[in-house]
């Protein structure tokens, strides 16, 4: 099995993150923010006057707001289509080839966008670019979760969220910097527009240097290749007992789900409770956007300008806010395996809902003679982006992969990530209209959605920390109903933790016997699924 620079184990994972994961999600974050960042450029809105909301007023501005929202959000619509395409392509092509196809489509979209001189071409180019980003963003987390060790899975997928935030911050500062260019030519937005295509080229170059998902290989009956990949990822011998047990565990889960392997089974409750699991994955992605985060991501400059700040100061504050968001992404990276997914989701939701309601209160008190509440609102906008990454900038992608079984992980990821992009599409489309029509009341919508996250997670989201993807699958199968899944998952986690503690103590006293005990424990897990 060929690997880049002969790396194995954790060094291989780190190299894969750097060469594939980082550019994919940098491109995603950059593209999410770039459209809204250049709409205020004179060279942009004079070329596309139908989306000019800078120099227009009244009914014309309202109409242009709708066109602008449609144009900016066309990226999200294209991304949703790209995600849904992986429902078929994900298991057909495999993880690597799907990512490469997405990179090619993204490069084509970038070329079309950089060369756009008419509004229809701009909209189509953003849809094509979005389709490529959607294919990559829905496939890479699946590939990561299927090639990561249990205790490293959270850290690896959290990197996705960090890179999205980094891409958003990069776009904010680049668009601010290029906005200062004294030119009547459109190069000041076309040049930074190339960034996404450059990142997609990096993905195209390096993807095949890394091993395919062992779980996809086993799903296709390519067991010897799966064995080699397991050995490389876990840095063990291909013929070791560890490799045999892991492969047997994967195979047993595939065989157990083969009885209901039709695509329609994904939308049925059944023994595996796939509909319940699909709803969990999709709701997590919807919450990540409909809680108000997309509002700040796309229209941070407009948000600050509505409180009476100058154009330059608004752009600087918007870029600073999104950079602060990047810094806060380190919180889940260090806490994901200790605090768990459920706790981080509820903490984030509590903070976000509080900030959104406070933004509404501040907005209701702002007058031309009293801008103090507006400046207080700026503080809450910063606090919001501190809470958001804790649970919804990486954790959402991770959890959406963990709760789905291998056979359905690719199509379910396509659906859930499509929900992510469609939710962002709704926010990007309605925000210009919402600010114009509702003003400060618009924040109440996002605050209400954020509040609903807390009871949803508490009652229906089982904790997945510390469990392998096969053990998570077994929790759903063994759970008698959706209301008992949370408690059963907690029980399994405690049993496993107790078993690990006893095993470690035994290994310290009798190393050889401890190793055999560990092997018997793994074999018992496999046998329980057959």
The label of the residue with tokens 């601010």 reads 176
Paired tokens of 394? 């990486």
**In sequence order, what DSSP letters do the residues of 85-109 get, joined into one string?**
HHHHHHHHH-HHHHHHHHHHHHHHH
pLDDT tens digits in sequence order for the chain, 530 residues long? 555 567 777 788 888 888 999 999 999 989 988 887 788 788 888 888 888 887 888 888 878 878 887 888 889 889 989 988 988 888 888 899 999 999 999 999 999 999 999 999 999 999 999 999 999 988 888 888 778 765 566 666 678 878 888 898 898 888 888 888 888 888 888 999 999 999 999 999 999 888 888 888 888 888 888 888 888 888 788 888 878 888 887 777 666 555 445 667 778 888 888 899 999 999 999 998 888 776 776 666 666 666 556 677 777 887 888 788 888 887 887 888 788 889 999 999 999 999 989 888 887 887 777 778 878 888 888 899 889 888 887 788 788 878 888 778 778 888 888 888 888 888 777 777 777 777 778 888 889 999 999 999 999 999 988 888 778 888 998 999 899 999 999 998 888 877 655 545 554 554 444 444 444 444 444 444 43
H-helix or E-strand containing 4? none
Q: Exposed, middle or buried: residue 185 (CB in 10 Å: 0-12, 13-18, 19+)? A: exposed
- Please indicate whether the domains covering 1-211 and 285-529 agree at the CATH topology level: yes
The CATH superfamily holding the domain 1-211 is MFS general substrate transporter like domains (1.20.1250.20)
Is domain 285-529 given the CATH code 1.20.1250.20 in the classification? yes
For the chain, report the end-to-end CA distance as a whole number of angstroms: 29
Q: Is 370 helix (H, G, I), strand (E, B) or coil?
A: strand
The domain ranges of the chain are 1-211, 285-529
- Do residues 467 and 489 touch, judged by C-beta distance below 8 A? yes
Of 437, 433, 426, nearest in space to 73 by CA: 426
């Amino acid at each position: 099995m060929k690997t880049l620079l002969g790396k194995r184990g954790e060094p291989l994972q780190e190299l894969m993150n750097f060469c594939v994961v980082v550019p994919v999600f940098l491109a995603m974050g950059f593209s999410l923010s770039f459209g809204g960042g250049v709409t205020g450029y004179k060279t942009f809105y004079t070329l596309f006057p139908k989306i000019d909301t800078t120099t227009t007023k009244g009914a014309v501005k309202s109409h242009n707001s709708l066109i602008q929202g449609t144009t900016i959000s066309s990226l999200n619509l294209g991304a949703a289509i790209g995600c849904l395409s992986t429902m078929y392509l994900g298991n057909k092509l495999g993880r690597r080839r799907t990512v490469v196809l997405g990179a090619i489509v993204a490069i084509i979209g970038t070329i079309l966008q950089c060369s756009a001189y008419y509004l229809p071409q701009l909209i189509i180019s953003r849809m094509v670019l979005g389709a490529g980003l959607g294919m990559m963003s829905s496939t890479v987390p699946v590939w990561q979760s299927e090639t990561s060790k249990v205790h490293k899975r959270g850290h690896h997928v959290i990197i996705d969220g960090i890179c999205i935030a980094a891409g958003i911050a990069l776009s904010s500062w680049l668009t601010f910097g290029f906005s200062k260019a004294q030119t009547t030519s459109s190069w000041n937005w076309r040049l930074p527009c190339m960034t996404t295509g450059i990142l997609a080229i990096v993905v195209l170059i390096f993807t095949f240097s890394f091993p395919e998902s062992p779980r996809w290989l086993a799903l296709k009956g390519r067991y010897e290749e799966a064995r080699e990949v397991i050995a490389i990822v876990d840095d063990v011998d291909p013929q070791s007992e560890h490799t045999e047990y892991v492969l047997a565990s994967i195979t047993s889960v595939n065989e157990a789900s083969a009885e209901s392997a039709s695509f329609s089974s994904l939308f049925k409750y059944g023994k595996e409770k796939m509909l319940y699991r699909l709803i969990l994955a999709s709701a997590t992605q919807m919450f990540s956007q409909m809680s108000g985060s997309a509002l700040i991501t796309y229209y941070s400059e407009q948000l600050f300008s509505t409180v009476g700040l100058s154009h330059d100061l608004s752009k600087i504050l918007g870029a600073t806010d999104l950079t602060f968001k990047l810094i806060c992404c380190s919180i889940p990276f260090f806490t994901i395996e200790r605090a768990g997914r459920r706790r981080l989701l509820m903490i984030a939701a509590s903070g976000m809902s509080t900030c959104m309601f406070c933004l509404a209160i501040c907005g209701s008190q702002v007058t031309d003679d009293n801008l103090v509440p507006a400046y207080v609102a700026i503080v809450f906008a910063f606090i919001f982006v501190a809470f958001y990454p804790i649970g919804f900038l990486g954790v959402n992608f991770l959890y959406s992969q963990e709760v789905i079984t291998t056979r359905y992980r690719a199509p379910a990821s396509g659906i859930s990530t499509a929900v992510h992009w469609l939710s962002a599409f709704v926010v990007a489309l309605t925000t210009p209209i919402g600010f114009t029509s509702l003003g400060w009341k618009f924040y109440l919508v996002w605050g209400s959605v954020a509040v609903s996250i807390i009871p949803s997670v508490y009652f229906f989201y089982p904790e997945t920390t510390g469990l392998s993807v096969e053990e998570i699958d077994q929790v759903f199968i063994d759970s008698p109903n959706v209301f008992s899944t949370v408690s059963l998952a907690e029980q399994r986690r405690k049993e496993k933790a107790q078993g690990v503690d006893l095993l470690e103590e035994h290994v310290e006293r009798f190393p050889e016997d401890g190793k055999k005990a560990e092997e018997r424990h793994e074999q018992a897990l496999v046998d329980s699924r057959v």
